[in-house]
Amino acid sequence: MEVRINEPMKVHTSFRAGGPAAWYAEPETADDLGALVSLCRKAGMPWYILGNGSNLLVSDRGYPGLMIGTGRFDRLETEGEILRAGAGVLLSRAASMALKCGLTGLEFAAGIPGTVGGACVMNAGAYGSETKDVLLSATVLTPEGQVRRIPAEELELGYRTSCIPGSGYVVLEAEYALTGGEPEAIKARMDELFAKRREKQPLEYPSAGSTFKRPQGHFAGQLIQEAGLKGFSLGGAAVSEKHAGFVINRNGATASEIYELCMEVKRRVLEQSGVELELEVKLLGEF
């Protein structure tokens, strides 16, 4: 497979910021992926599984290891009311396939800019629905190099969390249990959710979606707005005027500017409300 050196991460992340990965590869099979991971472990080299880069901020100094893209894991098929999708399949593509086959349950995922693998890891969700509502199982590569199919109930899926990272699993494929429905109704629901996203989210700017996790009993965006931070900026990074829960790359922001803005937002919200915000965005490299 092709292995690239000093691959710029700004072209692989939705923030459009960050320095290069020392190495970058896109394996085509589970065996190839397992060989790469094994090689990294033996060499003591850090490695990271990259989905669509929609929930990731890479340091301007770059990432001193191997970034493994999952784009070649793109199998997508249905069997009855079961939809199977490779880890690298975009959620929007999986939702479109479900619509085409008259299957309901994935409408919420149509506008989430992530991959099937990332959605399993983070239990991605939107508008009252989550991955765990429809996930039947995930096929993973274990730290020992074995391929295992794990039922969804054993993945400990919670709010933006699962046991997958802590167990050292790499998602290869997911199975969704959907339900037969009317294509017109499915399309109408997808259009409704798209309209809500366009109205309330700053889709015109690079971002990583909701920047902070929802604090218990609160909404991050509301706390940020109440702290007077809507539109607050630092360099090219800013808190969105449209939705305070989104930090955006408004004008060529560096990863450091985005990070420093997030830390300042955390500080001021804690000072204002006593609530400590937690980043939903994953940080890689030195900040």
Which residues 6+ apart lie within 8 Å of 128 measured at CB? 108
Active site residues: 160, 210, 280
CB 127 within 8 Å of CB 201? no
Q: Compute, in degrees rounded to 10, the torsion defined by CA atoms 239, 244, 245, 251.
A: -20
Tokens representing 67 are 């970034």
Nearest CA-CA partner of 17 in 212, 171, 241, 234: 234
Residue type, 53: G
DSSP string, 227-282: TT-TT-EETTEEE-SS-TT-EEE-SS--HHHHHHHHHHHHHHHHHHHSPPP-B-SE
Sign of the C-alpha dihedral, residues 136, 141, 143, 145? Answer: positive
- Say if CB 256 and CB 60 are below 8 A apart: yes
Per DSSP, which regions of 55-144 are E strands?
Answer: 56-58, 63-69, 76-79, 82-86, 103-104, 125-126, 129-130, 135-141
